[in-house]
Amino acid sequence: MAKRVGVASIIQETNTFAANRTTMHDFEIQGIWLGADADRKSHGMNIEVAGSLAQLRTHGFDAIPLMRAWAMSGGIFLDNELAKMKALLKEELLTAGKLDGLILNLHGALINESDDHTDAHITEFAREIVGPDVPIVVTHDLHGNPSRRIVAASDALIGFRTYPHIDQGDTGRRAADLMQQLLTNNRRLGTALKKLNMIIPAETMGTSDQPLLQIRELADSLIDNEILDISLFPVQPWIDVAEVGFGITVVHSGNFARANECAEIIRKALWKIHKEFQATLYSVEDAISHAIKGYKGKMQLISQSSDAPSGGSTGDDSRVIASLVNYGSEIVSACTVVDAPAVDKAYSKSIGEEVSVSLGFTIDPRWGKPVAVIAKLLNKGETPVVLTGPAMTGQVVSIGRWVLLESKNKVQILVSESATTTFDPAGYEVAGIDLDKCTIVHVRSPLLFKSGFAGRYGETFSLNLDGPTTPDVKKLNFYKVPRPMIGLDDFAGDLAEVSSD
């Protein structure tokens, strides 16, 4: 009889500086798929659960889909809402019956009110249900914050190898490969974890660019028959928790000392180049003028990473829109904002009609004031976005109702009830915008957009703005993170001072 391996996926990235709170509704609007639905609905998508299920079958296992719950990044998950999620997982695990193995596809930076390591909590919870002898393999996003607890509760922990992330499915497959090592080859696996107190802007975490590329290559050079996987977790910088930092996990087949040594080699190499993780940032005005001057027929991208829904922010900061619509002359461009009251007001108008709205800061007013815009209604609808780029390909993202407005100076503004995905052009194209005709396109994403927009853009300009996902992390009020912290503190210390095992 084929061995039975369950796969469950609960994914959200939490931002502890975000104004909103995460509830089950945030997962429900994106669809919580239980049992066979998790298999059927994820089929063909570039997401972890689909990769794990397919690869388990390739290895001859009986792959049991348990659940897939995904929400756009957001604020802290409410405790009573997490309890509902755990109840779903428990029910699916009990319904599935006796399992020989379990794969958990988790983000790694999910945080609820009473626990800074919700992914560890979920893994411990699953461990209690399946018992101590059933191997558990966990996958994380590269922005996850792996903890000592999750390493203790699982048999192996791995993460994405890419940023921009394009290997969600592959990561799921790698987890299934490790499960085969555990169940077919009867190897006992473990994970060594080391951290460096370092918080860096997401802009500098590209895995095919320096400085991180050399660290990835070093990690790959250490993999052998005993060291099965090395994952790097530069960690998203917008979580204020005590156990945070650049994480290195090394999955080994019994030689813990060697795994620990590999993690230390990588930590030392990171320490040597820690000053190189600096982002180049522009003011909104400079970015717009550089973008216009440098335009050579391909859209110029202005990245407002300080308000990135993919990093947990609300997407309602309208400062870039204000600068574009008040630019003084025509500027063919596209931008987005979350503003439910404005959608409500404009939705009742007919296409072509003029509408006067106030845009922005309806959810998180800490960073600025709304901008008044008189615009023409170009389009409206409630069609969801279907991701077409290489990240999470095929995934459907609900953005609620939306309207497409155009200012007198040709700024097209996609206003939606929930955040659209500007890391993927589909987040705009759903509204019928022809991006390739734009001089400037506004993205709310630090780096992920570079995969979605590959080949279509000229230059990129990251903005130096404050907000819950600001690239200037010194602007955020951290209380819990250990100090000194590279990225937050200027200090003349040695590696021992910023190492946390």
Task: Please state, in angstroms and rounded to a whole number, the distance separating the CA atoms of residues 500 and 283.
Answer: 35
Neighbours of 376 (CB within 10 A): 16
Q: How far is the CB of 308 from Zn ion (least distance, A)?
A: 11
Of all residues in this chain, which one has the CB nearest to Zn ion in the complex? 143
Comparison of 106 and 343: residue with beta carbon closer to Zn ion: 106
Single-letter amino acid code for the residue at 16? T
DSSP letter string, 377-442: EEEEE-PPEE--SSSSTT-EE---SEEEEEETTSEEEEEESS---TTSTHHHHTTT--GGG-SEEE
Q: How far is the CB of 295 from Zn ion (least distance, A)?
A: 30
Which of the ranges 141-149, 214-222, 343-351, 426-434 carries the binding residues for Zn ion, by CB under 5 A? 141-149
Q: How far is the CB of 50 from Zn ion (least distance, A)?
A: 18
CA 119 to chain CA mean position, Å: 15
Residue 127 binds Zn ion, judged by CB under 5 A: no
Binding footprint of Zn ion, residue count (CB under 5 A) = 2
Dihedrals φ, ψ of 334, to 5°? -135, 135
Comparison of 27 and 233: residue with beta carbon closer to Zn ion: 233
Single-letter amino acid code for the residue at 455? G
Q: How far is the CB of 143 from Zn ion (least distance, A)?
A: 4
Query: What is the DSSP secondary structure assignment for residue 2, as one 8-state letter?
Result: P
Task: Please state, in angstroms and rounded to a whole number, the distance separating the CA atoms of residues 375 and 369.
Answer: 19
x-or-dash string of contact with Zn ion, 418-437, rule CB under 5 A: --------------------
Q: How far is the CB of 159 from Zn ion (least distance, A)?
A: 9
Write down how long the chain is. 501
Q: How far is the CB of 202 from Zn ion (least distance, A)?
A: 8
Comparison of 121 and 143: residue with beta carbon closer to Zn ion: 143
Which of the ranges 121-129, 133-141, 288-296, 360-368 carries the binding residues for Zn ion, by CB under 5 A? 133-141
Whether 377 contacts 345, CB under 8 Å: no
Comparison of 68 and 252: residue with beta carbon closer to Zn ion: 68
Which of the ranges 47-55, 80-88, 143-151, 209-217 carries the binding residues for Zn ion, by CB under 5 A? 143-151
Comparison of 202 and 415: residue with beta carbon closer to Zn ion: 202
Comparison of 6 and 471: residue with beta carbon closer to Zn ion: 471
Task: Please state, in angstroms and rounded to a whole number, the distance separating the CA atoms of residues 458 and 436.
Answer: 11
Cα Rg, the chain, nearest whole Å? 23
Q: How far is the CB of 235 from Zn ion (least distance, A)?
A: 10
- Distances in whole angstroms, Cα of residue 436 to Cα of each of 130, 298, 455, 487: 52, 7, 11, 36
Comparison of 171 and 336: residue with beta carbon closer to Zn ion: 171
Q: Provide CB contacts within 8 A for 152, sequence distance 6+.
A: none
Comparison of 181 and 469: residue with beta carbon closer to Zn ion: 469
Residue 119 binds Zn ion, judged by CB under 5 A: no
Residue 143 binds Zn ion, judged by CB under 5 A: yes
| Helix (H) / strand (E) containing 162 | none
Residue 174 binds Zn ion, judged by CB under 5 A: no
Dihedral over alpha carbons 329, 332, 333, 339 (to 10 degrees): 70
Comparison of 143 and 252: residue with beta carbon closer to Zn ion: 143
Which of the ranges 71-79, 136-144, 372-380, 438-446 carries the binding residues for Zn ion, by CB under 5 A? 136-144
Which of the ranges 77-85, 140-148, 241-249, 279-287 carries the binding residues for Zn ion, by CB under 5 A? 140-148
Q: Provide CB contacts within 8 A for 475, sequence distance 6+.
A: 466
Q: Pick from 67, 36, 61: which is nearest to 135 by CA?
A: 61
Dihedrals φ, ψ of 313, to 5°? -85, 175
Residue 141 binds Zn ion, judged by CB under 5 A: yes
Which of the ranges 139-147, 224-232, 382-390, 399-407 carries the binding residues for Zn ion, by CB under 5 A? 139-147
* Interface contacts to Zn ion, rule CB under 5 A: 141, 143
